[in-house]
Structure 1
Amino acid sequence: MKSAVEQLATYKSVHLNPKNIQTHFVGVPLIIWSLFLALSLVDFDLGVGVSISLAVVFAAVVLVYYFILHVKLAFGLTLFILPVLLTSAWVAQSEYAIWIAVSVFIIAWAIQFVGHHYEKAKPAFADDINQLLIGPFFLMAELYFMFGLEQQLAQTIKPLAIEKRRALEAARKKDVAS
């Protein structure tokens, strides 16, 4: 498994433009919320009148992954995910829940692609599907950095990201030339 530094540097390599990062602070949470809303529509009966939604199972698995990557960032993500789970479960009670989930999901992805237009780079998941899970992790890291936390991590990933970006652009120029 790649380290938090490797994952964040790869993600940041196509998220260097501040406008792109700003759109991600809107789009990624909306994608997560809409996904959790859709997953909240699937319940597993555990017996004795107890059930658990697929959203809760997914959140638990993803949070374990985040805790393995970086404990401090995972705590922040836990604080983010809990209200997302609660609000998506509440909206899941609506007869229009699936339509709400699909609509928010589409709008959120449109916002993401606007950001990548500013960046002039394809999304990180285009080369590594695991980067879909790193988006929220990256944004939590960016929040920590904005508040002066985890500065050593910030100083480690930025030069690696710039180096990766240069390599991506060199490869793209080489592909265009051939």
Structure 2
Amino acid sequence: MNATAQRPVDRWFASYSGDHQNRTNQKIHIFAVPAILWTVVALLWCIPVYGTVMKSGLWSGLAMFVAWMFYNRMSRSLGLGMLAIFITMAWLTRWLESWLGVANLFYLALGVFVVAWIAQFIGHKIEGRKPSFLTDLTYLLIGPAWVLAKFYRVMGWRY
């Protein structure tokens, strides 16, 4: 299949993979990208929604829904996988909120966010290439799908 016949998801992944050839950087991404995704979910979860029954989670839910629409449009299979990931992250975040409280959830998520981004930049230093999102912010959404697609390939699933 030539480059013009590829699906958009294949073109995104080919471009993203070009910036992630080093095995150490790839391994860092396998852990850091999902961690960053969870922190975004958790940090948005902590934004209060005054005047509603929901005290938290609304902004996070909206962001997950918009991101899920992007993934589902790229690939139904990846969309289903990302939906499962978002549901799991929402459940985990809600559980952590009930256990730690909103303030401590915020600090936990902030700490994980900082550590995961430091790991990402160390990976890219090892790689010798700048992070993909510095050329196009869409790559912030491509990263989680790229990690999921790696899992799909290991499992022998098509995306």
TM-score (norm 2): 0.84
Cα deviations by residue, 1:21-62 (Å, 9 ceiling, x for unpaired): 110111011111111111111244685x45652111100110
* 62, 73, 88: which one aligns with 2:93: 88
Larger radius of gyration: 1
- 5 Å-filtered alignment, 1:54-73, equals 54-73=59-78
> Percent same amino acid at aligned positions?
26
Secondary structure of the structure 2 residue equivalent to 1:122: coil
Task: Give the distance between the partners of 2:138 and 2:51, measured in 1 at CA.
Answer: 30
Runs of 5+ consecutive residues of structure 2 not aligned to the other structure: 1-6
- 5 Å-filtered alignment, 1:127-138, equals 127-138=135-146
Counting matched residue pairs gives 149
The structure richer in strand per residue is: 1
Matched, 1:35 2:43: no
Secondary structure of the structure 2 residue equivalent to 1:129: coil
Runs of 5+ consecutive residues of structure 1 not aligned to the other structure: 154-178
Task: Give the distance between the partners of 2:157 and 2:125, measured in 1 at CA.
Answer: 29
Partner of 2:155: 147
User: Which range is displaced more, 10-19 or 121-130?
Assistant: 10-19
Secondary structure of the structure 2 residue equivalent to 1:92: helix
CA RMSD of aligned residues (A): 2.0
Partner of 1:10: 15
TM-score (norm 1): 0.76
Q: CA distance change for structure 1 residues 101 and 3 in 2, over 3 Å: closer, same or farther?
A: same
